[in-house]
Amino acid sequence: MRRLVAVLVASLLTLVVSTGVAAAHSKLESMTPADGSTQAAPPTQVVLTFNEPVGSTGAEVQVKSPSGANVSTGQITVIDKSVTQPVGAMIEVGKYTVDARVVSADGHPITVSASFTITHAGHAAVPAPTPATPDSGSNVVVIVAAVLVMLVVVALSVVIVRRRPGPESS
């Protein structure tokens, strides 16, 4: 029985240590337009780039005008580490705020608050739409693999304990 407990503890420790990098939270690396920047021409989209892939489930980006109107339009696109939110007509001059919420690879929510300033009203030409690709679903794969590894370790531990010969009679 001691061996079984030792094997289970060792396998759990190995699993926890091996997922140390995956357990780190995602961080925003950059935003286009850059946080705090001033631009003459309004952007057609806001792009958030993270240090690791993020999920598309529950992702939300709001871009608000100086008067508080939400100028976000269309569907948000999440591809690997990038989150793209198209924006509509930016007819007000002033400070636009960006509030975003996405889920990191380890399942933790990430919130982003940033802003940029537009000095000329109007809107830049709309770029050609980029085709959306589905989220890779890498979070699910990692979780399923970890669970399968633990099940195999437990099954092997049970087999080892049952195969051990009983106490010998003299």
Task: Give the pLDDT of residue 159.
Answer: 79
Query: Where are the domains positioned within the chain?
Result: 26-134
Across 13-27, 40-54, 122-136, least confident range: 122-136
- End-to-end CA gap in the chain: 23
CA–CA distance, 89 with 70 (Å, rounded to integer) = 10
CA–CA distance, 120 with 107 (Å, rounded to integer) = 40
As a whole number, mean pLDDT of residues 49-75 equals: 93
- 46 in Cβ contact with 32 (< 8 Å): yes
Q: What percent of the chain has pLDDT over 70?
A: 74
Helix, strand, coil proportions of the chain in percent (round to 5)? 25, 35, 40
Choose from 23-32, 67-76, 161-170 the range with maximum mean pLDDT: 67-76
Evaluate if residue 165 carries a pLDDT over 80.
Answer: no
Evaluate if residue 95 carries a pLDDT over 90.
Answer: yes
Task: Give the pLDDT of residue 67.
Answer: 95
Task: Give the pLDDT of residue 115.
Answer: 97
* 23 compared with 64, residue with greater pLDDT: 64
10 phi, psi to nearest 5 deg: -65, -40
pLDDT band at 16 (very low <50, low <70, confident <90, very high): low
CATH number for the domain running over 26-134:
2.60.40.1220
- 140 in Cβ contact with 53 (< 8 Å): no
Across 6-10, 27-31, 129-133, least confident range: 129-133
Q: What residues contact residue 49 under an 8 Å CB cut-off, 6+ apart? A: 28, 29, 30, 31, 32, 81, 82, 83
Task: Map residue 49 onto helix, strand or coil.
Answer: strand
Task: Give the pLDDT of residue 129.
Answer: 53
